[in-house]
Structure 1
Amino acid sequence: MMPRAAVACLGAGRMGRGIAVAFAYAGHDVTLVDLKPRPAPSFAALAQAALDEVRGTLRTLAQLGLFAESAVDAIAARVHVVPEAEAGPALSAAAVVFEGVPEVVDLKREVLARASRLAGPDPIIASTTSTILVDDLSAAVEHPQRFLNAHWLNPAYLVPLIELSPGERTDAAVTARLRALLEGIGKVPVVCAPRPGYIVPRIQALAMNEAARMVEEGVASAEEIDKAIKYGFGFRFAVLGLLEFVDWGGGDILYYASRYLTQALGSDRYASPAIVERNMKEGRLGFTTGQGFLDYGKLDLDAHRRERLRAFVAMLGQLGLSRPPVVGD
């Protein structure tokens, strides 16, 4: 078997530890680099805490049935922690170096500059920032064509999605290499433009604020709103995604619903973007016309609907809501 690519993480905190679990589980050696100068006893305590958390996370996943608990030690042994003074060999040998230090621009720039010098020109370097745009950091990186953002969603070892955001100077081949590496460990990377909020944080910020606003307005209790999200909103969008759901129902429904809510609630936050009205005028309504936000021209729509309905039925089973029919009186 070919050896799997080594990975390094800048910072031994929550994000680094989560990434370490994900890669070690998939057979990769991972080195967590502690970049903060500290006395040897303090470093030893940090390293032990990081390794204990990695092991504890793996043990929990095993107890939840993901794999046999007997494999925990072998997986955990792939994770190492080193101080910056010993980081050179690990960084230069890594296929990718993930930066995971606190969300402070100057700190990230300083860390990326130091690490990119130690790593040499070959490893991909990716920030895991959730807020800072890639081009606000790339100037600090030597050979910035190998730099991009890779936004992991917590818990990093479980959530499949990773949002990749290349910058102006990012080489497209670098993005493709990182995407392939992540797919190789079972992740689902998506590529997005360098815009504030990426994809998921931008959408979820709107949804979370609206849920809080409904509590404030007395629309429903927090418990009832969360129940509606779990069994309605989340149930549907786990299968379809937002834009396919628009196409499923029809873009015209979104357009008219948005107009009503804007008027009834007196807020422009419900107004549709111009693309929704443009799709209507151009006849791209979704399933019924064969094209909406997505193109269904080459799909067997009946088979596609059955596949999606099958996924909904499976979701009912996962939620414990599947019931046999009542037959007869």
Structure 2
Amino acid sequence: MKPFFILALTCLIGAFQTAAAAGRDPYVAIYDDVLQANADRAVERCTDLQQRLGEPSAERRHDAFVALAQAWARVEASYILGGYDMDAMDYPLMVDYFHLGKEDVHATLARLIEGDAPPARALYKNSYKTIGALDDVLFSGPWSPRREALAEVIAATVCRNLTRIRDGYRAHRADYLEDPKKALSLLINAEIENLYKTRDWRIAQISGLTKQTLGKPEPHHQQYPYSEASWAAIGAIIATHRQLLAEDRQPNLATIAHRQQADAGLATIQAALRATEQAYRDTPPDHHFGTREMIPIFQGLLDMQKAFYRQLVGRLGVTAAIIDADGD
């Protein structure tokens, strides 16, 4: 009798939670459970890393950094704060200066590590105080008091900028909810932009899948080459797209698409997302960023991007920014 009662109670609770989720406003759920929650978590992970810098365990420092890279990837994958605060448009560049500029930041940081200038003065450029710079200072060579001192300054700056993002989301929740049409446009365009950057910047150019790098992988151009956290960050990005699009993560963008009779386009996107997730899971650790192994992930992200442009944005009444000629 007792096992039956427990089973019945579990089913009842599950049904209640499903009904409650079904009744939630998808815009509220997206903001609270994805945008704000991911921003909150990024600040927490940055604080965790700060606390690990003075510890002797290299493994704990590494784990904390990977967790921060994943947390930031989730925030960046759905970043819309710049739509409500012009200053916030630049916050992502202040957190992680990736795939921008021609300066050899690694060479500069190597000189700073060998130098003796006070860290706060030596790290005078924003590109020296990002998550990418942390990857370099923490993992490009033997740990030392000098590296620790530099890392403390860099981490403090990263945490401060992540806090700006967290607080910005807290401040603009009402603005977001006041205009669902604007919110939807920002969300869809953030999805499309991130799909492109993940496919092209984080995968194709690293794995030899662009016209310039065809068949010639360039692993040194990974987002986080020294910690090897790039692969984990890509996984976090894919997981964030799942948060926003999967049927079993509703209420989310899928809920909005269903309400606006955009089921066909949504189904195409979800199928491509599932294929991307499976390809990511199936990639052996020693073949991360291998040209052949990255083709299914590249293709899945490309299929998602194309489906957004060709099948979803029109049905949702959204004007999509044109990025990379819709992926062709």
Same-fold call, TM > 0.5?
no
Structure index of larger Rg: 1
Identify the structure with bigger relative contact order (alpha carbons < 8 Å, sequence gap 6+): 2
Q: Which has the higher helix share?
A: 2
TM-score by length of structure 1 reads 0.24
TM-score by length of structure 2 reads 0.24
